Amino acid sequence: MKSSDFPRASEYARYWPLDPDTVYLNHGSFGACPWYVLEKQSEYRRMLERQPVRFLIREMEERFDGSRRKVAAFVNASADDVVFVSNATAAVNTVFRSLVFHPGDEILITNHIYGACRRLMEFICDRSGAKLVEANYNFPILSPDVIVEAVIDKVTPRTRIALIDHISSPTAIIHPVERIVEELGKRGIDTMIDGAHTIGSIPLDLEKIGAAYYTANCHKWLCSPISSAILHVRADKQNQIVPLVVSHAGHEAEPFPERFFWPGTTDPSAAICAGDAIDYLSGMIPGGWPAIMEQNHLMCLRGWDIICQTLAIDPPAPSEMLASMATFPIPLPPEIKIPDYKGTEPLQDYLFREYNIELPVFYWGSPPRRFARISAQLYNSLEQYAFFSEKLSAALIKEVRG
């Protein structure tokens, strides 16, 4: 491929260490950390290794709590209700493995649930005798009302708790979580919100949402290093929740964040960097974080429009149900090869091998249909989405012809 044919990233790409020879449209999977934040993490690690006792015993708590308080303020939550965990999956495990379920209890999920969380729910039900109940709604989707109706329709007197995605990983749609939490609360049902893709992608107000439990990954749209996420537990629910690793503070330590502070010897640098990421990106463009969220949203919509026009498909969801990711259907191949969680779909491999395009291609639904998902971050450009849509269209034709 001629270098002149390869699309340029945006002017902001210089702030990230991403491979300039890759069209990286997959921020949603693992995020990407700017140079500055990576350098801050290296600085903390050097401090740790230079004098481990001084850093871990004498200095870490102040830095750790300072970052936690900054993230809590960013999502409008009391710092007393927020703790750091390694990722959103760990947070969901923390909550559901703390709660006690009995035979006949019902756990409500949706068919848009993240795969790892579905496996956890199956484990919880197998161990406890609880029943897993699934609310189903199609994608493409026409309105948030469809989601609310599907969830409430599955509520019974035995429903104990619901696990609802805020922005679903496979379908990338924003769920009306505030409405769902309110409706379930009227029926005496707690809700945990899996907000893995939310913080830094959409404005968050956890006090307003009011969920019993909420988790969000800091390593995605907030752009802090991998292994940083938050778990928010409403004050009236904290006595039930125990960290996955019970350590020196004990399982009943107060205040609540104390239980999670010292899970044995770990590298705290990713969590400490969450506060640095908030500060750094807020100064990257005029308007700070609100402008970043808006710019990424508009870039996502424009990229999505290019793809839909190229493939001659209708937008699968209203624009207001999208943040900084968008999923769209693509035709099934002559032979379906569904990879496991360690693998990638053949078309995804082809696009990377031939054109250095990186984004997820996957199967979802029953019967399985095939989808692709784009992400938008400041480093992306419209040229990249146009390049991708052109190469995807050609690859799909080639796939049919064999």
Q: Is 21 inside a domain boundary?
A: no
Ranges of H-type helices in 18-59: 27-30, 35-50, 52-53
Of 246, 261, 281, the domain-final residue: 281
Q: Is 384 inside a domain boundary?
A: yes
Same domain, 273 and 332: no
What per-residue confidence (pLDDT) applies to 401? Answer: 77
What per-residue confidence (pLDDT) applies to 81? Answer: 98
Same domain, 245 and 358: no
Q: How many residues does the chain have?
A: 402
Burial class of 375 by CB neighbour count within 10 A (0 to 12, 13 to 18, 19+) = buried
The pLDDT tens digits of the residues spanning 163-217 come to: 999 999 999 999 999 999 999 999 999 999 999 999 999 999 999 999 999 999 9
Of 234, 261, 281, the domain-final residue: 281
Q: CA of 104: how far to CAs of 129, 130, 199, 241, 382, in Å?
A: 7, 5, 35, 22, 51
What per-residue confidence (pLDDT) applies to 4? Answer: 59
What per-residue confidence (pLDDT) applies to 400? Answer: 76
What per-residue confidence (pLDDT) applies to 328? Answer: 96
What per-residue confidence (pLDDT) applies to 50? Answer: 97
CATH number, domain with residue 370: 3.90.1150
Same domain, 241 and 293: no
Residue 54 carries which side chain, given as an amino acid letter? R
Based on the structure, what is the number of domains in the chain?
A: 2
Of 261, 281, 301, the domain-final residue: 281
What per-residue confidence (pLDDT) applies to 402? Answer: 67
Q: In tens digits, what is the pLDDT along the chain, a chain of 402 residues?
A: 555 589 999 999 999 999 999 999 999 999 999 999 999 999 999 999 999 999 999 999 999 999 999 999 999 999 999 999 999 999 999 999 999 999 999 999 999 999 999 999 999 999 999 999 999 999 999 999 999 999 999 999 999 999 999 999 999 999 999 999 999 999 999 999 999 999 999 999 999 999 999 999 999 999 999 999 999 999 999 999 999 999 989 999 999 999 999 899 999 999 999 999 999 999 999 999 999 999 999 999 999 999 999 999 999 899 999 999 999 999 999 888 888 888 899 999 999 999 999 999 999 999 999 999 999 999 999 999 999 999 999 999 988 776
Same domain, 338 and 255: no
Nearest to 351 by CA among 400, 310, 392, 402: 392
The pLDDT tens digits of the residues spanning 277-308 come to: 999 999 999 999 999 999 999 999 999 999 99
What per-residue confidence (pLDDT) applies to 337? Answer: 85
Please give the Cα distance from 345 to 338 (Å, whole number). 7
Same domain, 54 and 93: yes
- Residue 150's domain comprises 38-281
Put residue 287 in one of left, alpha, beta given phi > 0 → left and psi -120 to 50 → alpha: left
Same domain, 316 and 234: no
Q: Is 30 inside a domain boundary?
A: no
What per-residue confidence (pLDDT) applies to 34? Answer: 98
Residue with tokens 């693992």: 30
Q: Is 291 inside a domain boundary?
A: yes
Phi, psi of 178 (to 5 degrees): -60, -40
